[in-house]
Amino acid sequence: MARKKLPVKKPLRQARQKRTPSRAKKHLSSVGEFGLIDLIARGSICDRPDVLQAIGDDAAVFSGSGQDRFLATTDVLNESIHFDLKSTTPYLLGRKSLAVNLSDIAAMGGRPLYYLIGLSLPNYLSPAFVRALYRGMQAQATCFDAALLGGDTVAASGGLSISVTLLGRAHPHRVLYRSGARPGDLVFVSGTVGDSALGLALLQKGTRISSRQHLVRRHLDPEPRVGLGCALADAKLVTSMIDVSDGVAADLGHILDASRVGAEVYLEQLPLSRAYQQQCPGLCVDVYAPALSGGEDYELLFTAAPKKRSAVEACARKIGVALSCIGRITGSNERLKIIDGEGQEYKLDEKGFRHF
């Protein structure tokens, strides 16, 4: 899972490293998060016949002795990287830790089953903090009928680290992969995008934690789209799906890479909340940047054939989730093009948050 800061000017140290390629090679930043995952994937070929998808999608997929497909996903949230204890509460942090994993199961069209928690705890936290963290996780899990199976608790030398592993289940013929997009398919996204990045920007500027502030709430307490993911999978309407954790541009990029296709996304069709439209100009020079590359919206981004459009829209209406068609899939020789209101290509600076 990636994270979450509006693009900032590169610090001098990074700029200097760029000018000395021999030194840069030694650092993770020379390959980046996704380069690193590629590197791991290439060195970890999985040839068990019961593993249908290992590294490369929102969750791994494997079969058991019956018909069901099982799903497994894990995400780590680290203090100072993924959250700041000054701008969240332990309860909300617990809810979000589980939500980011629920969102990955949703993106596969699956239903959550069980979860395990790995905690690295610094001594400055209290038992009351841990209790509230678990209250948050359990409140979130209960909404989706997921049960805590166990975990691990260790001391941390640095900040708090929360690792959640979530298992889920899906119908054998209805698992939704990143790799199924076809030229001509339409690209849809649920809800609104960019709110979380602006919520983070507000928190960093000192806005206090309040569930009444829409953007802040979207950042601190995202709502995983499990109902929509299952409904779309059950209705067999979708060709590929991913959740928006790294930003629309980066996550659509993952669908394009896995499906070996290109896409056009129309800037003016991106769904922006009223709060986004009101507050973005005061927070960001490029008013589309948070929507395209902010990340952590945990909406579902998916593709479907044009003839399925009204069925897809009816499905989302039934679940009560807004849906927008933001573009279309193009041919295998194409890449991602973002088109502005004048029909010109829009250049995006950053595609999602970079870890390294």
Q: Residue 58 interacts with ligand ADP (CB under 6 A)?
A: yes
Say if residues 106 and 230 touch (Cβ distance below 8 Å): yes
Q: Residue 350 interacts with ligand ADP (CB under 6 A)?
A: no
Least distance CB 44 / ligand ADP (angstroms):
7
Considering only residues 76-105, where is the footprint of ligand ADP by CB under 6 A?
Answer: 104
Q: Which of 140, 165, 240, 245 forms a contact with ligand ADP (CB under 6 A)?
A: 245
Identify the CA nearest to 301 among candidates 140, 139, 104, 160. Answer: 104
Q: Residue 279 interacts with ligand ADP (CB under 6 A)?
A: no
Q: Residue 297 interacts with ligand ADP (CB under 6 A)?
A: no
Nearest-angstrom CA–CA distance, 76 and 102:
13
Nearer to ligand ADP, 152 or 268 (CB): 152
Least distance CB 38 / Mg ion (angstroms):
16
Eight-state DSSP code of residue 296: -
Q: Residue 297 interacts with Mg ion (CB under 5 A)?
A: no
Size of the site for ligand ADP (CB under 6 A): 10
Considering only residues 89-108, where is the footprint of Mg ion by CB under 5 A?
Answer: 104
Length, in residues, of the chain: 356
Nearer to Mg ion, 83 or 266 (CB): 83
Q: Which of 15, 28, 39, 40 forms a contact with ligand ADP (CB under 6 A)?
A: 40
Considering only residues 98-137, where is the footprint of ligand ADP by CB under 6 A?
Answer: 104
**What residue 57 binds from Mg ion, ligand ADP, none (CB within 5 to 8 A, per partner kind)?**
ligand ADP
Tokens matching residue 126: 């209290």
Nearest-angstrom CA–CA distance, 294 and 351:
9
Q: Which of 57, 58, 299, 350 forms a contact with Mg ion (CB under 5 A)?
A: 58
Report how far Cα 331 is from the mean position of its chain's Cα atoms.
25
Nearer to ligand ADP, 163 or 279 (CB): 163
Q: Which of 15, 46, 55, 147 forms a contact with ligand ADP (CB under 6 A)?
A: 55
Q: Residue 37 interacts with ligand ADP (CB under 6 A)?
A: yes
Least distance CB 145 / ligand ADP (angstroms):
21
Per-residue mark of binding to Mg ion, 177-206 (x: CB under 5 A): ------------------------------
**Which 3-state string (H, E, C) describes the chain?**
CCCCCCCCCCCHHHHHHHHCHHHHCCCHHHCHHHHHHHHHHHCCCCCCCCEEECCCCCCEEEECCCCCEEEEEEEEEEECCCECHHHCCHHHHHHHHHHHHHHHHHHCCCEEEEEEEEEEECCCCCHHHHHHHHHHHHHHHHHCCCEEEEEEEEECCCCCEEEEEEEEEECCCCCCCHHHCCCCCEEEEECCCCHHHHHHHHHHCCCCCCCCCHHHHHHHCCCCCHHHHHHHHHCCCCCEEEECCCCHHHHHHHHHHHHCCEEEEEHHHCCCCHHHHHHHHHHCCCCCHHHHHCCCCCCEEEEECHHHHHHHHHHHHHHCCCEEEEEEEECCCCCEEEECCCCCEECCCCCCCCCC
Least distance CB 181 / ligand ADP (angstroms):
16
Q: Residue 221 interacts with ligand ADP (CB under 6 A)?
A: no
Of 3-11, 50-58, 157-165, 320-328, the segment contacting ligand ADP by CB under 6 A is 50-58
Nearer to ligand ADP, 103 or 239 (CB): 103
Q: Which of 56, 118, 122, 151 forms a contact with ligand ADP (CB under 6 A)?
A: 56
Q: Which residues bind ligand ADP (CB under 6 A)?
A: 1, 37, 40, 55-58, 75, 104, 245
What is the binding site for Mg ion (CB under 5 A)? 58, 104, 243, 245
